[in-house]
Structure 1
């Protein structure tokens, strides 16, 4: 309700002019800041909504005359004043100053209160229908995907600081902008809005449904233009653009939606939001745009009051000043010089200053681009308009500057192998335990097998030959033998189910499958199964057929060399065909950057269904290196693998991150890091490499060993991107890096355009390794291969972003983005957040039943679910926090060493143990009983502990909404009595009970019931705490006295006995025990978003684990026995500005003041554990948590804890101070109120 005060109502003392002085700009700025931020300046209940403050330069005028440097501040509360009111106010002020009175006719003059009454009575049916239709199907609570540097955290973690960036359009750009608007008969404001929506489209990585807030003055009738008051309204402006529209089309669309919105702009924001009751926090209110036209020349800044001339002073919003938007953009048209400027304001809680500077440069570039060649740019589709900065274009170009000419000609795999045989025939080519073959010996067996295939099985060039062989020398011979016979190698894993193997063979239309003694019984139907072992032991072939027969096998580099099945875990596997030249040139690229070379001893780790095994075997043989094979399953037998690494002096190792983490932890645990002394090149790929893994690897390998993060789908032949890992530099994520030599890539959004730096897009790869397509699947090939500017690119489906250094970072799969309860979620983001916890080695996040996020976490340390949840809550928005955390010693792996998602245990929602029966906390009052019943009914459980977090038992945003509406019905709550946000932030039965109790209008007295613990850690502060807190924060905050801590209670004691000594260690332990027992000694006070002072009891375990940093025991050695020196030392401690921090719960400090004793025999006496005579103990406690009567309780418990040298046995049901605070607030104090009214009547 608003009430206009009469002259009799007004307290003249309240409306006096404030006077003060200043001498420096710093003093003046401090007065300005106080005027903007001091909440005590206004009193809405008393009608104090306007202040006049005269600031004199150096001294107050004795004759009431203002001089040149004096300042007048008019300060208005925004609830009663808006920007257009300024001119009305100045006009009336001038008239009154000149004439001594202001002519008004209260009978006929329209007043603001009249407008308010009329507004309430207006029929707004048409406006209501318009806004309901305009925002239909809009996601008002979904924030735009601006390039935030941080997630939005809860209110207590926000600073509300901002930054501003300003730039002028300049004369040419301003002229082009204004001319375009004029020549097209478009309002400048509409043109600016259209450009802003294009800019948001670009900043959000092509979001098409954009909704922002728009401030309007709302003086839609002439009668309102001469009234002081707040007419402003905030309305949403929703733009659903089509990226294929031209700028002209968008401009007309924006003009239409803006005009329509302005027609119904009088509809109050509150009513617009009431049409969407499920939206707890409308996100469009965080993004704003304004266009202002004004005069800013010196004449406009001059204000005449009578014959006196005043010059207005702008009050800038510098960095650090509070601002109500996350991101806002203001375009101003200076009518005096006919030029435009732009100001961007942004929250430092969400953006770095550097990011906003880059956003500003993007907007400037966009403007220049649009108005440089207007006709060309305005007819482009919106998606073609670029906001990529020049330095980013340079990074893209330099990233793809990879062309290298190799000396050796392009050749076939087997030709390159024979070349190495000729160069060093006696060098070891392949080893397996005690078996080995030189290059010459291997060539012999390869030729024998190839001739067998040609002469006995009559294979022909290009025929696909499958091979199903366990790890062995036969595997190597078989692969190279297929190549030498001119055929196409297709690996089949002996570990695959039989029906899958048959299906794969049928896909290839192959008639032969090479086997050996371990796999010859795998296939049981009509198919030819040449046995490699038998072929090699049969000498008949070599005696009859001449080797020259192989010379007539015609194979060229463009022929397909091998086939790899991809995406075999889901759907139908796709057979990717790789040519000889793809493979040999890809290997040359790896050699060129020295990832591996001819001197390496390469251990063969990969399963044969993973294309990496081809690199390890054929790649090694065509460069002259040595391959070390493992026995079947040897890659996961760490004892065996450890022995091979040491005995064979392995120099090159390549595996997936999950397997490397397990193996290197095994090495670390067994303290056998010496086996890595020979390792020269350590490669990881196939999965995301975490910073924690890189640090682990770095801690074990020798200094000369390089860690490489490699990436590339099978369709690009082995790898296409590489990055040399440096754990000192790569501290946040491990990049994929840059393209290998003779590879290049582009990153595209959904419209085939490059995204801005640090925005994700799909990576397309071009280069020597691009495959020949999928076998017999032209439909899939057409989707995967795309021609751009005459070059063939592979569309990978991988999402990456390019950082400011031109390095690519993996963001996930294009098809792995999920939607949960209407929110877009990238699971990789949650995984990266969890991997920031040092105790977690790997994790997977999945969506279950379309309702829940489940995080599977691998940890060998004592990690609990609550720690994981708290970490996520402090780093991620609520909708991205998993409902369940399943902690496993090891995540299941498939034979390739990757995490096998199929084997992850499903969460059993219905039978999930909601709490340990020994820790079950039952309801303690009627309200908790009622809420407990609702929860059990909702989750179909018999018992739920009242301290259980709802999100740990499958709760999510929809469940909270259900509870919100259920509570309102069950407890007959008024419309605005309960906040859905509070239910999110306090997600336990205890907290919900307290919130509802505080919301109920009539609360029965609790005097007849015994007080008991409510088991809560967060509540409103007691009345005494509120008084102390406000006194200290407001009344004494600017106190100039030397006493900094007005509310410190010091307890000062001297060791007076010469016989007995006090142990510092035991004293510290006793101190910890007392703090553990009494919650009040670890309680923080702060003001919440509703302006209430709240108390929060901190977790004792966290405090103790932190070694009491917040409540530290400090030992001070004093070298002077003088009593006055001791007094000054104690005063100095009590006056320390950081002695207490109520916001962090630092409310008690412990100082020991001990005499220093020096002697030649014992120079380290001052480090002893014992206190002796005349040493002193100073305990400082904040009065908000302690009073005089508390002293005896504290000393008694401290003494008992010291004597027992053990922590107190804590009774969770014991009454704590926070319980008293709750009871105090809900007590019926009617009688007390009446008593004190009567007692002080007339005083």
Structure 2
């Protein structure tokens, strides 16, 4: 049986279509239509506060009108730098309703990283949490931002929590006062004085909706251009993959961040499409709080990453909580250890935790194991409805079933290309038989049944705790240190994060630096999850004949038990 026969269809669960109609609507219509169907149903719960779908849609309309009143025009980039909170949902759909292009921006970014993304995207509007404001102040004169809209966690809390929260943060030394004026606006005040009547804007399915930054296959962060059709398609594909899902009755535990495309699609957008209640987890690392939210709100769907499920499996409080409400979980962003899946099904008494696969350029999901059907351990499952997949050789030709090659995917969820980087787009997007195919950079196999396995990464991406880390970013920071002559960053096995960053460094003659000093240096220039956890000094780094560092050789060494670390 050849690859072109699509043998995976035989493993689709009853009720899962082979294809979905090409979406012909904008992303904000997911919420708009659900607000019409289930106006009184809770759309969001957050630390004791709750918003119905009617209230949420009104907030979105107010915010869209406020953006328009500030001068935001269709096609302008609007960066959102917020954790999971109601304001993120309002900002995301409000910007889309106004015809703007959202730029998801990690709250973990340090000032240097934020500066790069704002410059590269050309964002003239930045929506951010008050606690992050000092980072913007460091770079304010170097970026094209014309307006900064600031909000705080307290703005989403009910009384008296909204009063007590600032007091607590002041006592902890975390409070960051931000004054409105000039180019700085208070989101709550702006919305309070704005009517929910935005000027109608025509938004077409193929219009750009989102710039989601990724290292792609090269390692330099760049914006994947995702259209409204891309985002809606992947959301509808995820919905189709859950044939037993009941509109207006589900509860989604939103522990993965919305600024990550996986969390945005499988938690936020899917909830808006189906009328599910979003239970927002402000800090997924607080496993005790997460367990309490599960017991209190009884979520039925729990998309997450392996580290999250593993943390629940091993937390001492887990046996005290009832987790049986959870029916389905799709794990993404990193390989799912078999033992993690087995143990999670055991403690939840049957929750179906299955491994999926995707990448930013695909909005992001392309494959998953059937949630209630045949699951092949160690595989990423089969392609989603309307997704085609091929395993190809270096010439782009299909290889025989069972052989290793690069995974290519096609479908309505595949990006338009990389923002202002046609040369990089040409390296990963290919026309074949009238369709656009995305070369994933991952080496894989397909068996006779149409199940796919990732066997290696063609790219050198490091995935730690579900976060993508691009070695070149880490290396560039290391090279900034005056004592470093050469540097290479690779992924090393880690029992909790899946992988962690190991840095190999060569000192300049007569110079040295302690690991603590190097760690501090990196923490000032990188998000915490990107900072190397392991350092190793070398007299020289392995290189090719032309002088290119053999990073893959170092990565192999890092995976061996005898490998050294400082």
TM-score (structure 2 length as normaliser)? 0.72
**1:798 is the counterpart of 2:442:** yes
CA gap of 1:681–1:444, structure 2 versus 1, over 3 A, is same
**1:620 is the counterpart of 2:271:** yes
Aligned equivalent of 2:353, options 707, 711, 718: 707
CA gap of 1:726–1:582, structure 2 versus 1, over 3 A, is closer
CA distance in 1, matches of 2:405, 2:237: 25
Pairs aligned (count): 450
Aligned equivalent of 1:611, options 244, 256, 261: 261
Structure 1 regions of 5+ residues with no counterpart?
Answer: 1-390, 818-826, 829-845, 861-893, 911-950, 956-1243
Q: 1:486-525 maps to which residues of 2 (within 5 A)?
A: 486-524=99-137, 525=140
Aligned equivalent of 1:689, options 310, 319, 336: 336
Match of 2:407 in 1: 763
Instruction: Verify the 8 A CA contact 1:749 1:761 in the aligned structure 2.
Output: yes
Match of 1:659 in 2: 308
Instruction: Verify the 8 A CA contact 1:466 1:489 in the aligned structure 2.
Output: yes
Aligned equivalent of 2:85, options 472, 480, 483: 472
Choose between structure 1 and 2: higher helix proportion.
1
CA distance in 2, matches of 1:467, 1:708: 30
**1:642 is the counterpart of 2:291:** yes
CA distance in 1, matches of 2:67, 2:492: 51
Q: Which moved more, 1:790-799 or 1:690-699?
A: 690-699
Residue 796 of structure 1, CA deviation:
0.7
**1:750 is the counterpart of 2:364:** no
CA gap of 1:643–1:671, structure 2 versus 1, over 3 A, is closer
CA gap of 1:488–1:678, structure 2 versus 1, over 3 A, is same
Deviations 1:508-550 (A, max 9, x none): 111110124333343111432023563433467435xx71x43
Match of 1:426 in 2: 40
If you compute each CA radius of gyration, which structure gives the higher value, 1 or 2? 1
Instruction: Verify the 8 A CA contact 2:445 2:454 in the aligned structure 1.
Output: yes
- 1:422 match: secondary structure: helix
CA gap of 1:752–1:741, structure 2 versus 1, over 3 A, is same
Q: 1:201-600 maps to which residues of 2 (within 5 A)?
A: 391-393=1-3, 396-399=5-8, 404=18, 406=20, 410-455=24-69, 457-524=70-137, 525-526=140-141, 527=145, 528-532=147-151, 534-538=186-190, 541-542=193-194, 547=197, 549-550=198-199, 552-567=200-215, 571-594=219-242, 598=247, 599-600=249-250
CA distance in 2, matches of 1:722, 1:583: 17
Instruction: Verify the 8 A CA contact 1:558 1:580 in the aligned structure 2.
Output: yes
Instruction: Verify the 8 A CA contact 2:312 2:318 in the aligned structure 1.
Output: no
Deviations 1:1030-1086 (A, max 9, x none): xxxxxxxxxxxxxxxxxxxxxxxxxxxxxxxxxxxxxxxxxxxxxxxxxxxxxxxxx
Residue 729 of structure 1, CA deviation:
6.7
Instruction: Verify the 8 A CA contact 2:239 2:270 in the aligned structure 1.
Output: no
Residue 810 of structure 1, CA deviation:
0.8
CA distance in 2, matches of 1:493, 1:854: 21
CA distance in 2, matches of 1:683, 1:405: 20
CA gap of 1:530–1:393, structure 2 versus 1, over 3 A, is closer
- 1:531 match: secondary structure: strand
CA gap of 1:436–1:857, structure 2 versus 1, over 3 A, is closer
Choose between structure 1 and 2: higher strand proportion.
2
Residue 745 of structure 1, CA deviation:
0.9
Residue 424 of structure 1, CA deviation:
1.1
CA distance in 1, matches of 2:203, 2:239: 24
Instruction: Verify the 8 A CA contact 1:413 1:622 in the aligned structure 2.
Output: no
Higher relative contact order (CA 8 A, sep 6+): 2
Query: What is the root-mean-square deviation in Å for CA atoms of aligned residues?
Result: 3.6
Deviations 1:785-839 (A, max 9, x none): 100011111111011111232210011211359xxxxxxxxx99xxxxxxxxxxx
Residue 765 of structure 1, CA deviation:
0.7
CA distance in 1, matches of 2:412, 2:275: 21
CA gap of 1:597–1:778, structure 2 versus 1, over 3 A, is farther
Deviations 1:1140-1194 (A, max 9, x none): xxxxxxxxxxxxxxxxxxxxxxxxxxxxxxxxxxxxxxxxxxxxxxxxxxxxxxx
CA distance in 2, matches of 1:857, 1:571: 22
CA gap of 1:752–1:580, structure 2 versus 1, over 3 A, is same
Residue 953 of structure 1, CA deviation:
6.7
- 2:395 match: secondary structure: coil
CA distance in 1, matches of 2:221, 2:491: 28
CA distance in 2, matches of 1:624, 1:424: 7
CA gap of 1:635–1:747, structure 2 versus 1, over 3 A, is same
Q: Which moved more, 1:415-424 or 1:528-537?
A: 528-537
- 2:209 match: secondary structure: strand
Instruction: Verify the 8 A CA contact 1:469 1:515 in the aligned structure 2.
Output: yes
CA distance in 2, matches of 1:856, 1:539: 47
CA gap of 1:408–1:901, structure 2 versus 1, over 3 A, is closer
Structure 2 regions of 5+ residues with no counterpart?
Answer: 156-185, 464-470, 472-485, 498-522, 540-559
TM-score (structure 1 length as normaliser)? 0.34
CA distance in 1, matches of 2:9, 2:430: 18
Deviations 1:878-912 (A, max 9, x none): xxxxxxxxxxxxxxxx9xxx9957433235789xx
CA distance in 1, matches of 2:127, 2:496: 42
Q: 1:59-208 maps to which residues of 2 (within 5 A)?
A: none
Instruction: Verify the 8 A CA contact 2:234 2:413 in the aligned structure 1.
Output: yes
CA gap of 1:786–1:674, structure 2 versus 1, over 3 A, is same
**1:905 is the counterpart of 2:524:** no
Q: 1:978-997 maps to which residues of 2 (within 5 A)?
A: none
CA distance in 1, matches of 2:492, 2:133: 42
Instruction: Verify the 8 A CA contact 1:709 1:736 in the aligned structure 2.
Output: yes
CA distance in 2, matches of 1:850, 1:434: 48
CA gap of 1:671–1:954, structure 2 versus 1, over 3 A, is closer
Deviations 1:942-986 (A, max 9, x none): xxxxxxxxx98779xxxxxxxxxxxxxxxxxxxxxxxxxxxxxxx
CA gap of 1:506–1:691, structure 2 versus 1, over 3 A, is same
**1:716 is the counterpart of 2:362:** yes
Instruction: Verify the 8 A CA contact 2:304 2:332 in the aligned structure 1.
Output: yes
CA distance in 2, matches of 1:756, 1:539: 58
Aligned equivalent of 1:670, options 317, 321, 338: 317
Instruction: Verify the 8 A CA contact 1:493 1:608 in the aligned structure 2.
Output: no
Aligned equivalent of 1:630, options 277, 281, 285: 281
Instruction: Verify the 8 A CA contact 2:23 2:229 in the aligned structure 1.
Output: no
CA distance in 1, matches of 2:37, 2:355: 32
CA gap of 1:469–1:728, structure 2 versus 1, over 3 A, is closer
Residue 656 of structure 1, CA deviation:
1.5
- 1:644 match: secondary structure: helix
CA distance in 2, matches of 1:899, 1:814: 25
Q: 1:766-845 maps to which residues of 2 (within 5 A)?
A: 766-816=410-460
Instruction: Verify the 8 A CA contact 2:32 2:57 in the aligned structure 1.
Output: yes
Residue 727 of structure 1, CA deviation:
12
CA distance in 2, matches of 1:745, 1:657: 24
CA distance in 2, matches of 1:859, 1:519: 28
CA gap of 1:445–1:858, structure 2 versus 1, over 3 A, is same
Deviations 1:665-710 (A, max 9, x none): 21xx43526421110111211111122122112211223x322211
CA distance in 1, matches of 2:22, 2:242: 16
Deviations 1:430-451 (A, max 9, x none): 1101011000111111111110
Deviations 1:179-237 (A, max 9, x none): xxxxxxxxxxxxxxxxxxxxxxxxxxxxxxxxxxxxxxxxxxxxxxxxxxxxxxxxxxx
